[in-house]
Amino acid sequence: MSAFTDSLEKVAAALENNSKKFEELDSVAGDGDLGITAGNIAKGLRAGAAGATGDLKADLMLIGREIAKFAPSTFGTLFATGFIRASAAVADGDALKNTQLGVAAAFEGIAARGKAALGERTLLDALHPASVALNGATDLQSGLNAAATGARAGVTATASMAPKHGRAGWIGERAQGNEDAGATVVAVVFEALAQ
């Protein structure tokens, strides 16, 4: 396994190991299916890893396509969008530069597709601090460490945010006091990458 496919496996395993947690968080405000979706995203990541060729652009696109197939829910589609936009953004640079470009493009793409802004209690509230932390780093490992810390802090902040999107948006205040399930998925991803 390459370092890239190794990372994908780490993320897939972390998503599966935390699926119960995602389900519980999502049941408070959403329809409780985020645990299943996270498991499906893990399947997509593994299918992408199995077909990876070492061409980063092509591999990210493949992963996005596989996630779209395995996890066709709203959250899965947003996740897939992140990989597809990252695919378009990466260049021939080093791993840190490509991670910075890819995560930034994923953030922009997911915000556009989901028509969501920061502070609206979505996965963006974890992805944005992760992206900012990465951009301030000078090497990949410290960048991923900082991204994981940033994403987790973002998750903590969602507990006091009022939801505007999805089913959580209709029930309003009831979601408050709990951390957002989708943002938690993003933190788990970066924590796995930082391992």
Partner 1 sequence: MQKILNVPTEFVNEMLEGILEAYPTQLKAVGGDNHALVRADAPVSGKVGITTGGGSGHLPLFLGYVGKGMLDGVAVGDVFQSPTAEQMLAVTQQVNSGAGVLYIYGNYGGDVFNFDFAAELAAAEGIRVETVLGADDVASAPKGEEGRRRGIAGIFFLYKVAGAAAAKGLSLDEVVAVTKKAAAQTRTMGLALSPVTLPAVGHPTFEVKPGEMEIGMGIHGEPGIRKSALETADQITEELLTAIKNDLDLKSGDKVCVLMNSLGATPPEELYIMFRHAKKTLKGYGVDVARAYVGEFATSLEMAGASISVIRVDDELLNYINTPVHTPFFTQA
Structure tokens at 33: 């299916």
Binding test (CB under 8 A) with partner 1, winner from 10, 43, 69, 164: 69
From residue 55, how far is each of 4, 52, 59, 61, 74 by CA, in Å?
Answer: 11, 8, 6, 10, 28
| Nearest residue (CB) to partner 1, 39 versus 114 | 114
Closest alpha carbon to 36 in 6, 83, 74, 63: 74
Q: Which of 81, 98, 100, 145 binds partner 1 (CB under 8 A)?
A: 81
For partner 1, the closer CB: 1 or 91: 91
CB of 84 to partner 1, least distance (A): 7
171 binds partner 1 (CB under 8 A): no
Please give the Cα distance from 120 to 135 (Å, whole number).
Answer: 23
Q: Give the integer Cα–Cα distance in Å for 155 and 149.
A: 10
CB of 53 to partner 1, least distance (A): 16
d(CA 75, CA 34): 8
Residues of span 131-170 touching partner 1 by CB under 8 A: none
Q: Does 27 bind partner 1 (CB under 8 A)?
A: no
Which residues here bind partner 1, judged by CB under 8 A?
61, 65, 68-69, 72, 74, 77, 80-81, 84, 113-114
